[in-house]
Amino acid sequence: MQITTTRAIVTGGASGLGAATAKALVDAGAQVTIFDLSPRGADYAAEIGAFFAAVDVTDEDSVSKGLQNALDAMGGLNAAVNCAGIATTEKTLGRDGPHTQASFERTIKINLNGTFNVCRLAAAAMTGGVLVNTASVAAFDGQKGQAAYAASKSGIAGLSLPMARDLARNGIRVMAVAPGIFRTPMLESLGQEVMDGLAADVIYPPRLGDPAEFAALVRHIIENDYLNGTTIRLDGALRMP
């Protein structure tokens, strides 16, 4: 698929990996509509030359209205990039007792259910194209306190093949990217010392990932029609202990 004929939605596109992806696609000649609930979403979209819709990815009506806005603005849709999500930390059994069910369900609802909700509704609005979802290395190397997060991200990785099989007749590919440790505003808030410690575990290059590198892979997935039904790790050979 040509990037200049790409008409994409990017969820979570107002910050972090989503923001980098939205900008990279617009800069390459694609039309992009950002789906986000952040107050800065509309301003960021205007700044990079994208469209914007305030969308809650977990809500069917909200996504449907956002998709209609995107279709009206761009004249069609052939790509959806799901970057919306949350990171949570809570042990299965901690000092204060068992993992709260509410926090587990919230993580699954936003990360996994939200991704699937956008995928199913976007697929219905597409005539051919590609769905790109954001998993995580936590799907395979989950750490202490990541039971909910790892479950949500392994679910996203697990969607790739069956959804690709389901949507083959519609000419829609399905891929996922499993990023390692990337320099995002959320990570930067932890401070340089923490970031340096995390970067030390990366095999090569020994640094945090740049969101632009994630965006570059998403662009390649969009352009490479033979990529389908799998999850690509983007992590500098990082394997979490």
Residue 185, pLDDT above cutoff 90: no
Q: Which residues are annotated as catalytic?
A: 149
pLDDT at 180: 94
- Backbone angles phi and psi of 106, in degrees to 5: -65, -40
pLDDT at 189: 66
8 Å CB contact between 85 and 134: yes
145, two tokens: 């306190």
pLDDT at 194: 67
8 Å CB contact between 233 and 176: no
- Backbone angles phi and psi of 100, in degrees to 5: -70, 135
**Mean local confidence (pLDDT), 80-88:** 95
Give the side-chain half-sphere CA count within 13 A for 165: 4
pLDDT digits (tens, 9 = 90+) for 167-177: 999 999 999 99
**Mean local confidence (pLDDT), 67-74:** 98
32, two tokens: 């992009």
Percent of the chain with pLDDT over 70: 98
Q: What is the mean pLDDT of the chain?
A: 95
User: Both ends of the chain: CA-CA distance in Å?
Assistant: 38
- Indicate the pLDDT class of residue 184, thresholds 50, 70 and 90: confident
pLDDT digits (tens, 9 = 90+) for 186-211: 777 667 876 787 788 899 999 999 99
